[in-house]
Every structure is written in C-alpha cells, then in structure tokens.
Amino acid sequence: MQGRFTGMVVLVTGAGHGIGRAVAERFGREGAYVVVNDVAPSAEAAAQAIASADGEAIGVVADVSLKPEVDRLFHTALDRLGDVNVLVNCAGAGERVAPLLRGR
C-alpha cells in the first residue's frame, strides 16, 4: 500500500481501541509499518485489522507504565521492523508512563 508514510515504522501506544486504534489504522492506510501497542490483547486484534485492510502491522502487548515492558516493546519493534520513525503516545496511563526514549 502506498501513502504518505510508506516505508516508515510507526509505533502507537494505547492502540488497542479508541483514538489510538483509529490513529494506528490511519497510519496503516497511509503505508506505514505499524507497531500496535496496548496493555490488553486488543493490540493483536487491531494489528490484524490493519493487516486485513492490506496494511502491515504487528501487535505488541506491553504495559508502558513499566520500564522493562517499554524496553521489550522497542526491542521488538527494532528487531522486527527497524528504527521507529514516528511515535504516537495514546496510552491512557497518566503519570504512570515509563520513559519511552533514552539519550543516545
């Protein structure tokens, strides 16, 4: 699928439902490889919905309020798809969100 984000890797947290899912699906329609994250298994269902619409997506269940889970989320994205070009934080965890980026 061709679009404005063709070839880019987009990670969307809180993408199992609601606004996060809508954002992930739109990136999928725009050609991105989407990493769909949620604390619930709905992440995998959302990734499947993107793939069923001829997009490319993987679902990663991880709690972004826990640093080890954030590390696993990013390692999964990097190992499977390469560098993350766009990060959309839609997880509704409030102030419990662990740091998503570290200095290089």
Place of tokens 């439902």: 17
Q: What is the pLDDT along the chain (104 residues), one digit of tens a residue?
A: 678 999 999 999 999 999 999 999 999 999 999 999 999 999 999 999 999 999 999 999 999 989 999 999 999 999 999 999 999 999 876 555 555 555 44
Q: Where are the domains of the chain?
A: 9-91
Task: Give this prediction's pTM.
Answer: 0.86
pLDDT, tens digit, 9 for 90 and up, residues 73-89: 999 999 999 999 999 99
Options 3.40.50.1110, 3.40.190.100, 3.40.50.720, 2.40.50.100; CATH of 9-91: 3.40.50.720
Cβ-based neighbours of 35, under 8 Å, separated by 6 or more: 9, 10, 11, 12, 57, 58, 60, 73, 76, 77, 81, 84
At residue 2, the pLDDT reads: 77
